[in-house]
Amino acid sequence: MGEPADERWAPFPVQDWSTMPVDPPLEPGWAPPAPEQRVPARTPRPWWVPLVVLLCLGLVVGTGTWLARRTAEPRSEALGFVPADGQALWQQLATTRELDTRTTTVVTESARFSGVDGLLSGDAALVTRVLHQDYEDPAGARLWRTTTTDVDEVGVPTQTVRYYRVRGSVELAGQQAGADITAYEPALLELPADVAPGSSWRSAGSAGDEEDYESTFTATAAAGGCLDVSGRLVLRPRGTAQGGRQSTLTRTWCPGRGLVAASESGGSTRTTLDPVAAPAPGARTTAGAPVAWADPRAWRPKTWDTVSVDPTTEEPGPMNGNADVAIDPVLTASGLVVRAMSSPHDLVATTPKTADAWTPAWRVHPGGTVLTLASFGAVVLVTTSERRLVAYSEAGSRLWEADLPEVAPTAPVAVSRDDAVLVDLSGRVLRFGVADGAVRWTRSVGSDVNRLPGVGAGLVVVADRGGTVSALDAATGAPRWDRPVEARAVAVVGEQVVVASDQNVMGLEAAAGTTRWVTHFDGTLTALTAFGGSTLLASKAETLLLDGAGRVTGRLPGYLAVDVTQGHVAGWTADRLDVVDPGARVVATWPTRSTSLVSSDRPGLATPEGVYLFGSTKGWTFDAWTTGG
């Protein structure tokens, strides 16, 4: 019998046959072996020489790193009061003006930076005014940033950002509240390095461009090892010795928690700040509306920039820091696009500012390195390298946080309108309430997991790295069935569990896990998901639509990534965007910039207006194909 027309051949095992020629060669492409030739013998090198060199190099590098960390981490009494990176504190803020008192709840997040990250950790207008002294020695910059967000605020988020220098003492370098930026030079001394009950200190200098400041403080012992610090702050017009504005201050600093309580009075205004428990979640939309595109053929391509706007001049400028193009941005219910940063590790919510640019609406810091992002209506969930799951409102306030036994390399997945499931690296499956973090159930599958779970048909399906696919009851977490399969991806389509393994995809009965069909595919798998009642399988070689019996109902080119909406799929190749309908027809196509198409990890985002593609070399620039053009 003759060979099949599409038979592939290679002189070595091949994982991705899409890279090999379709027509098999008739004979090997190399010459016959040459006659044996005698090669002069070389003196063998002692086996231990490269090993010793490697060990010496490792010792030098390791010792240098250890010494750098030892010298870079100052220790003092004052620094014991500074919170850890990512820590949050909820407080009640009461502001009284004459007879009117307004009370609200705020949450303050702490971020710890060293080196250049600290100088990139805010909008350029703020850091250039407040941290300009640190630019002289960026390697030695050690900063503590607090961001206070009004929890009760709806509409436009309200944040107050403060920067402290923490190199032994704790010094307030400056702050921004709304459009008002105040820089203290030299920095206002909050806590001297050797602070203790009975300590007194003062500092003086300039406060912005038009005023001078003078402060005096005294510390007394408080309960729990805390310090009560009281004193006054005087702000006078530049060059005057009398008059000005005087405020009486009282602050309570607690070890590892920072400034937990405070009061300030001056003129007719008095503010108090007291710690409270995290507020109970209010009514929040936790289910996002499905994205549906009317006519993708009417889209127009456009390139957007993201800018930082100076609040005092309204002039746009470049964004500080680097957007993390390996983490998919998410869209909130109000239309904010939330992106992760790789340097520093903040989250930034952006919104359109002009006809050509977006700008930040708020910035938060969950702590550690951001690993995944997910959006559920008005709630944004993030997992971090600190083994934490943190929830934010779409106004930028931290709602709740939870510790995880291990890092979670995949994002949470919706299992109902109000709940999501998360699988961490240890194999623990967690179902929880999106609005409040309340745990519904937990279950361990017994092996490591680094793949997204499948959800549907009353199941949560998990493929572990031990070679088992496990189905859990979505309501209770109880085991339903398991199969010994080395799965590369899982999805639930209708009443079937679809599993990709090696170069085959199989359909399993949702009720019992028995095999119903098996279909072969070529190329490296890039996506497996449900689309319009069918299974969509994308690889670098081909994209298939499969019906409930595993039959191929549509063939498309290979895609590096896909974004699925209610009625269309956006398929990304190395140089093209295709929009595909449920009948496997390409209804619209556009060329893409090569700078935006780095790999299958580059983030695309489907929106009601069209689709965005992130990942350009500039980081903050992105491409869009939308109805608005």
Per-residue model confidence as pLDDT tens digits over 409-436: 999 999 999 999 999 999 999 999 999 9
Same domain, 235 and 384: no
pLDDT of res. 343? 87
Tell me how far apart the alpha carbons of residues 463 and 467 are, in angstroms, rounded to a whole number: 7
Name which residue leads in pLDDT, 398 or 32: 398
> What's the chain's average pLDDT?
86
Q: For the chain, how many residues are written?
A: 629
Residues 247 and 108 in one domain: yes
User: For residue 530, is it within any domain?
Assistant: no
- pLDDT value at residue 31: 36
pLDDT surpassing 70 at residue 599: no
Inside any domain, residue 109: yes
Cis-peptide into 186, omega within 30 deg: yes
What pLDDT, on the 0 to 100 scale, is given for residue 156?
A: 66
Do 243 and 331 fall into the same domain?
Answer: no
| Whether residue 340 is found in the same domain as residue 425 | yes
Residue 10 lies in a domain: no
- CATH assignment at residue 337: 2.130.10.10
3-class SS of residue 14: coil
Supply the DSSP symbol for 284. Answer: -
Alpha helices in 301-415 (DSSP H): none
pLDDT of residue 99: 81
The closest of 307, 315, 333 to 622, measured between CA atoms, is 307
**pLDDT category, 564, cuts 50, 70, 90?**
very high
User: Are both 213 and 355 inside the same structural domain?
Assistant: no
Q: Kindly tell me if the per-residue pLDDT of 594 is higher than 70.
A: no
- Local structure of residue 299 (DSSP, 8 states): -
Is residue 605 scored above 60 in pLDDT? yes
Asked whether the predicted pLDDT for residue 604 surpasses 50, the reply is yes
CB 188 within 8 A of CB 194: no
Collapsing DSSP to helix, strand or coil, 478 comes out as coil
Check residue 268 and give its pLDDT.
82
Q: Is 80 exceeded by the pLDDT of residue 522?
A: yes
Residues 113 and 238 in one domain: yes
> How many domains would you assign to the chain?
2
pLDDT at position 618, please?
A: 59
pLDDT at 382: 98
pLDDT bin (cut points 50, 70, 90) of residue 386 is: very high
Kindly state whether residue 536 falls inside one of the protein's structural domains.
no
Mean pLDDT for 519-544 is 96
Confidence at residue 33, expressed as pLDDT on a 0 to 100 scale: 37
List all residues 6 or more positions away from 317 whose beta carbon is below 8 Å from its beta carbon. 124, 125, 307, 308, 309, 310
Distance CA 311, CA 289 (A): 33
| pLDDT for res 275 | 94
**Amino acid 288: pLDDT:** 79
Mean pLDDT throughout 330-359? 94
Q: Is residue 498 part of a domain?
A: no
Residue 84 confidence (pLDDT): 96
Q: Within this chain, do residues 344 and 425 fall inside the same structural domain, yes or no? A: yes
Mean pLDDT across the stretch 532-538?
A: 95
Say whether 510 sits in a helix, a strand or coil: coil
Q: Determine, yes or no, domain membership for 409.
A: yes
Residue at 82 is within a domain:
yes
Task: State the amino acid at position 367 in one-letter form.
Answer: G
Q: Which of 414, 432, 450 is the last residue of a domain?
A: 432
Can you name the residues that pair with 266 across neighbouring β-strands?
Answer: 269
Separation between Cα atoms, residue 569 and residue 584, nearest integer Å: 9
Q: Burial of 99 by CB count in 10 Å (0-12 exposed, 13-18 middle, 19+ buried)? A: exposed
In a domain, 31, yes or no: no
Are both 262 and 286 inside the same structural domain?
Answer: no
> Do 382 and 271 sit in the same domain of this protein?
no
Q: Residue 113 has what pLDDT? A: 94
CATH number at residue 250: 2.40.128
The values of phi and psi at residue 81, to 5°, are -95, -5
Provide the pLDDT for residue 155: 57
- The full 3-state SS of 376-409, as one line of letters, equals ECCEEEEEECCCEEEEEECCCCEEEEEECCCCCC
Question: Is 185 found in the same domain as 312?
Answer: no
pLDDT at 420: 97
Whether 45 shows a pLDDT value over 60: the answer reads no
pLDDT confidence bin for 389, thresholds 50/70/90: very high
Which of 17-21, 45-49, 197-201, 443-447 shows the lowest mean pLDDT across its residues?
Answer: 45-49
Residue 628, pLDDT score: 75
Q: Residue 309: which domain range?
A: 282-290+298-432
Overall average pLDDT of the 279-308 stretch: 88
Q: Residues 99, 242: one domain?
A: yes
One domain for residues 219 and 336: no
pLDDT in tens, 49-98: 333 333 343 333 344 333 333 445 578 999 999 999 999 999 999 999 88
- Over residues 131-140, the pLDDT tens digits come to 988 888 888 8
Note whether 261 and 412 are within 8 A (CB). Answer: no
Q: How many helices (H) and strands (E) does the chain have?
A: 3, 46
Could you tell me if 589 and 580 are in contact, meaning their C-beta atoms sit under 8 angstroms apart?
Answer: no
Q: Pick from 400, 432, 464: which residue ends a domain?
A: 432
Residue 154 binned pLDDT confidence (cut-offs 50, 70, 90): low
Residue 549: both structure tokens together: 């019996």
Pick the last residue of a domain from 432, 464, 484.
Answer: 432
132 Cβ contact partners less than 8 Å away, ≥ 6 residues apart = 183
Q: What is the full DSSP assignment across 124-142?
A: HHHHHHHSGGGGGSGGG-E
601 pLDDT band, cuts 50/70/90, is low
Give yes or no for residue 37 having a pLDDT over 70. no
**Would you say 610 and 293 are in contact if contact means Cβ atoms under 8 Å apart?**
yes
Residue 282: which residues within 8 A CB-CB, separation 6 or more? none
User: With 90 as the cut, is the pLDDT of residue 251 above it?
Assistant: yes
